Structures are given as C-alpha cells and as structure tokens.
Amino acid sequence: MLAGSTASTVEGLDLSNVACAAVDLKLGKGLNLTSEQQANAATIVSVGVQMHVPVRGQVVAIATTMQESGLRNIDHGDRDSLGLFQQRPSQGWGTREQIMNPKYSAAKFYDHLMNTKGWERKSINDAAQSVQRSGFPDAYAQHESKAVQVVASASSGGVQQINANSGCTPLTSPAKYDVKGYVSYALQQVGKPYVWGGTGPNGFDCSGLIVYAWRQMGYQLKIRTSQQMYSVAVPVQPGQERSGDLIFTEFKAGGPAHVLIVVKPGVTVEAPRTGLDVRVRQYDAQREGMKFGRLPADQMTAISAQV
C-alpha cells in the first residue's frame, strides 16, 4: 500500500493516522528494479543495519548510488571512479578490487557519512553531497522519494512508514510492544523530582523518564540522551503525532536539549528541569518550536535477550 491508499491495520498496528504508509512493499514489485539493482539495494541496506546506521542514513546511501551508478556495480566512471558509489582508489577509498565489492563500498560510504558532523540534520541531498563532494551537488534530491521506498522494501519487518522528507522506519515492533503501557508507566512517575542523569525509580531527567518507562515494559533502549534519540527517530509531521511519540525541543548546536512524550496530541508528560517535578501539561508545537519523532524498534532490545 503506497501513499494515498486506503488505511489498514497490520499485525495489530492501526495505520489510519500514519502518513504515507506502505505495507509489505517488495523490492521486485512496483519499483522497476532489475535483479542486479535489487541485490545491490539489499546489500546496502543490510550493511547499514549491521553497522547500526539509522534508516535515514540508509536512504542517503541508496539515493547516492541511484545517482552515481544507477544502483549498478560498474567498473568504470569519471577518471578512476568505480562501483556503486563511484569511489576513487586515488582518493583513498580502497583498492580497485575492494571498491568493486558492494559490501566494502557500502561500509566505506557509511563510515564517511557517520563521521560527518550533523549529517542527520541535513537534507538527504546535502548529506549525500557531504560525502561525495560531487560536481553536481543538487543531483541526489531527485532520487529521494524512490530511495525511501527502496529502503522500506529492502528492510525486514514488513511494515514501513514512508516519508520522502525524512526517510522511513519499520513500524513493526518487538514482541509485546505496548505503547499504551509505556506511556502509562511514564504517567505513573508524575510528581517525582527532576534529577539530572536520573533514570528512576526515584528521580528522572527528560530522557531518563523515557528509558525508565521502556525498561518497565521489558526493553532497554540503545540510546540514552535527547540528542541520540533525535538522531535515530524518524520525524513525524506536526499534527500527525500520536501517543508514545517523542517531542524534541530547545534545539542547540548539538541537537535538542529536551525530549518529552506525547500522551495524546496536545498533551505531554515530561521531566522538565531542576526544581520542577515530572508533570503532565499541554503543548503548542508551533509556539514552542517542537519537532516530533518515532523511535524505531531496532533501537530497543528485549531485556530477557540480554541475559
């Protein structure tokens, strides 16, 4: 199901309020990719998953290869450029043999991307250009929408949220995932003090409240701070947020200094700051300069699985 199609429910998840949902999109269906392109796309996404690259980064990689090589592992290019990403041996990307290995070239691209400061806040086009430094710096943007769908179709989990402005994330959740339960645990902390660095049960900072609530549900988050949560969360358009989504605000050079939990649209629970206890309040997204995000399931590990 692509953008604009009838809403549906898959695996118990209500998609009626999720913009641009795509259900069980397959690489070989509707994307007009050859078997070679499908295999290369699957490799790029798989390497990204193995390296814990956020979904947005995987979209950047696919958009890059669409522009540079048409998702084909070609043995020629401008000057000594080679492979999926048109990397150059003379510029330190590796030997010819290494670059022609899709797994190697994808990993090298991700290494450069992840070491580019602030890449996750750039547009897909600008993030790609920050790595490639192409003579055609705006060329990646034209591939963004299709790259999002390719990443969705190549990802495990089946159900994806597609957003051409921000990338996609699996909406399928780990076993016994319960957003209502997680929000309920956060609400039970109302009245407890703000404690910098606190992750409960007696005090919390803003992100510590989120970590604690998920821990009570049996999941350990792989990220801890508001900035880390923002870097992996897939943006949700204002007005489309739902219970359990995160709100990011107080943006500084390193990202958001504060994160809150959506109880329901217009209402949040938060651990605000020193001197103010955990509380429920109304919010005004536009006035407060808020952005919304949804944590993907791959950022949660079942606590039982860690034992």
For residue 298, the SS3 value is helix
Residue 290 pLDDT more than 50? yes
Q: Which of 24-38, 56-70, 140-154, 250-264 has the lowest mean pLDDT?
A: 24-38
Residue 70 pLDDT more than 80? yes
The pLDDT confidence band at residue 266, using thresholds 50, 70 and 90, is very high
Q: Is 37 exposed, middle or buried (0-12, 13-18, 19+ CB in 10 A)?
A: buried
Residue 20 pLDDT more than 90? no
Q: What is the DSSP string of 171-238?
A: ----TT--HHHHHHHHHTTTTPPB-TT-BSSS-B-HHHHHHHHHHHTTEEES--SHHHHHHHSEEE-T
Residue 171 pLDDT more than 50? no
Task: Give pLDDT, residue 249.
Answer: 96
Mean pLDDT for the stretch of residues 45-57: 86
Alpha helices in 115-187 (DSSP H): 124-132, 144-154, 179-187
The pLDDT confidence band at residue 15, using thresholds 50, 70 and 90, is very low
Task: Give pLDDT, residue 28.
Answer: 57
* Distance spanning both ends of the chain, measured CA to CA: 38
Show the tokens assigned to 233: 């969360």
Residue 14 pLDDT more than 70? no
Show the tokens assigned to 166: 């921000």
Buried-state track 44-68, b at ≥16 Cβ within 10 A, e below 16: bbbbbeeeebbbbbbbbbbbbbbbb
Task: Give pLDDT, residue 158.
Answer: 37
186-245 tens-digit pLDDT: 999 999 999 999 999 999 999 999 999 999 998 999 899 999 988 878 778 788 888 999
What pTM was estimated for this model as a whole? 0.52
Show the tokens assigned to 75: 């043995």
Query: What share of the chain has pLDDT > 70, as a percent?
Result: 81
Residue 23 pLDDT more than 80? no
Bridge partners (DSSP) of residue 280 are 269
